[in-house]
């Protein structure tokens, strides 16, 4: 580097340094090659991102910083910022694991140049999380994996639990076609788990809640039907009036939430009107078809996030529910850094195949009201 270039370097560096002598020392370092020229501005950019990132976390209402005792005053923004900064400096991987979900996508640029394996791993996961399209795919796949796990465990998707979550759909597709013997078998199976007065009381509470939910579902469905009838009245008022009278003849008023499918074996805690159960004979094959329809609708409800009492955050944000087959395939691709003809052929074949979840969702039938499902099946008979 000649004298003129060095002078220009001194002037440039002097604007950043505190003294001209400091700038001269920097220029000497540039000559010897111990300092790149011109001065890198990346450090200033990185510091700026760090400050913005820490300020964002300090003002977050959901980020967790430390455990506190009851009655202990809340942490100030400055305290939160310092805790996050200490973790960031001490262990960037732990910082991403703990606070990554609360960062914004642009904050991740701070970690781009890191060669730490843990940081790289979390960075990849978080980029997918902050990308809307890929995150939606991840959520669907994780829910599908969770569904398969729950089905295998046999509790959440047992007939008893599904009936509790959607009693009207169960009654329309399964309950009203049960024989006396089948009803008794189910009642005895439920009683096996009741071995104390406490369990008996809890079972009665659950039953009352289920019956009231069913009554609410019936009212909602009636309201939807009446709304459709009202709109049709404008075109054919007389015909609609006759239809409503015909429909009302098939309903009876009751003073309690009796369990219709259990042949009025007790009473619930809420007064309501329920639809009279009329047993219709069906063969075993026909019952199986209707039960499959019921289970299929319950699966769809879970996958679409409509199970109100289920904590979907334990699935949607949990990478443990990622498809194990896809994860295994990714690990193999990382291990083998070359493509043989056999691997290429397998890869092309897998690309042509539809995703397992897509195939499953396509096979699920569109949602219908319980009455529609029962009516459609009756027409088929």
Checking if the pLDDT of 64 tops 60, the result is yes
Q: Is 298 left (phi over 0), alpha (psi -120 to 50) or beta?
A: alpha
Exposure on the CB side of residue 212, measured as CA atoms within 13 A: 10
In this prediction, residue 132 has a pLDDT band, given cuts at 50, 70 and 90, of: confident
* Per-residue pLDDT reduced to its tens digit, 237-256: 655 555 555 554 444 444 44
* 256-281 average pLDDT score: 50
Closest CA to 371 of 228, 185, 195: 228
* Per-residue pLDDT reduced to its tens digit, 310-346: 999 888 877 778 755 455 555 555 544 444 444 334 3
Provide the 3-class DSSP secondary structure of residue 116: coil
* 80-104 average pLDDT score: 92
Task: Determine the pLDDT at residue 213.
Answer: 87
Dist. CA 147–CA 161, nearest whole Å:
14
* pTM, rounded to two decimals: 0.51
Closest CA to 141 of 324, 292, 306, 299: 324
Read out DSSP for 23-63? HHHHHHHHHHTSS-SSPPSHHHHHHHHHHHHHHHHHT-SS-
Question: Which of these ranges, 42-51, 88-97, 108-117, 322-331, has the smallest mean pLDDT?
Answer: 322-331
Cα separations in angstroms, 34 against 1, 4, 40, 203, 205: 14, 20, 13, 77, 77
pLDDT winner (highest mean) among 123-127, 352-356, 372-376? 123-127
Look at 225 and 110; give whichever has higher pLDDT. Answer: 110
> Cα 254–259–260 angle (5° rounding)?
75
Q: What is the mean pLDDT of the chain?
A: 73
> Cα 269–272–278 angle (5° rounding)?
110
Closest CA to 310 of 296, 325, 298: 298
* Per-residue pLDDT reduced to its tens digit, 5-17: 545 454 444 444 4
Sign, CA torsion 126/129/131/135: positive
Look at 324 and 138; give whichever has higher pLDDT. Answer: 138
DSSP state of 367: P
Look at 23 and 96; give whichever has higher pLDDT. Answer: 96
Look at 333 and 196; give whichever has higher pLDDT. Answer: 196
Dist. CA 5–CA 335, nearest whole Å:
49
Provide CB contacts within 8 A for 260, sequence distance 6+: 171, 175, 274, 275, 276, 277
In this prediction, residue 147 has a pLDDT band, given cuts at 50, 70 and 90, of: very high
Question: Which of these ranges, 3-7, 35-39, 366-370, has the smallest mean pLDDT?
Answer: 35-39
Dist. CA 273–CA 254, nearest whole Å:
5
The burial class, CB within 10 Å (0-12 / 13-18 / 19+), for 257 is: buried
Look at 322 and 69; give whichever has higher pLDDT. Answer: 69
Checking if the pLDDT of 291 tops 50, the result is yes
DSSP state of 304: T
Dist. CA 312–CA 256, nearest whole Å:
35
Radius of gyration of the chain (CA): 33
In this prediction, residue 219 has a pLDDT band, given cuts at 50, 70 and 90, of: confident
């Amino acid at each position: 580097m000649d004298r003129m270039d060095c002078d220009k370097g001194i002037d440039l560096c002097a604007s950043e340094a505190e003294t001209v002598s400091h700038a001269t020392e920097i220029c000497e370092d540039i000559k010897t090659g111990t300092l790149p020229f011109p001065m890198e501005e990346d450090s200033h950019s990185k510091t700026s991102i760090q400050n913005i990132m820490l300020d964002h976390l300090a003002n977050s209402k959901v980020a967790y910083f430390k455990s506190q005792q009851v009655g202990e005053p809340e942490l100030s923004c400055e305290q939160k910022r310092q805790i996050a900064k200490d973790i960031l400096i001490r262990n960037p991987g732990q910082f991403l694991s703990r606070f990554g979900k609360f960062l914004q996508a642009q904050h991740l640029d701070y970690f781009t140049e890191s060669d730490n394996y843990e940081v790289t791993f979390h960075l990849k996961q978080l980029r997918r999380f902050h990308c809307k399209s890929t995150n939606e795919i991840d959520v669907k796949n994780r829910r599908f994996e969770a569904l398969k796990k729950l089905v295998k465990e046999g509790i959440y998707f047992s007939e008893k639990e599904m009936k509790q979550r959607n009693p009207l759909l169960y009654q329309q597709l399964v309950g009203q076609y049960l024989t006396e013997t089948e009803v008794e078998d189910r009642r005895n199976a439920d009683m096996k788990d009741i071995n104390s007065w406490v369990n008996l009381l809890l079972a009665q509470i659950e039953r009352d809640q289920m019956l009231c939910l069913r009554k609410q579902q019936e009212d909602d469905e009636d309201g939807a039907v009446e709304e459709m009838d009202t709109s049709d009245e404008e075109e054919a008022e007389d015909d609609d009036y006759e239809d409503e009278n015909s429909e009302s003849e098939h309903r009876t008023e009751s003073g309690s939430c009796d369990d219709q499918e259990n042949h009025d074996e007790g009473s619930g805690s809420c007064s309501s009107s329920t639809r009279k159960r009329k047993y219709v004979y069906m063969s075993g094959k026909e019952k199986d078809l209707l039960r499959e329809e019921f289970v299929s609708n319950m699966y769809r409800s879970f996958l679409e996030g409509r199970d109100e009492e289920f904590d979907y955050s334990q699935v949607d944000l949990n990478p443990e529910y990622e498809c194990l087959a896809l994860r295994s395939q990714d690990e193999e691709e990382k291990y083998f850094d070359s493509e043989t003809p056999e691997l290429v052929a397998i890869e092309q074949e897998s690309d042509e195949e539809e995703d397992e979840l897509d195939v499953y969702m396509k096979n699920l039938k569109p949602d219908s009201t319980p009455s529609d499902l029962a009516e459609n099946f009756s027409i088929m008979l």
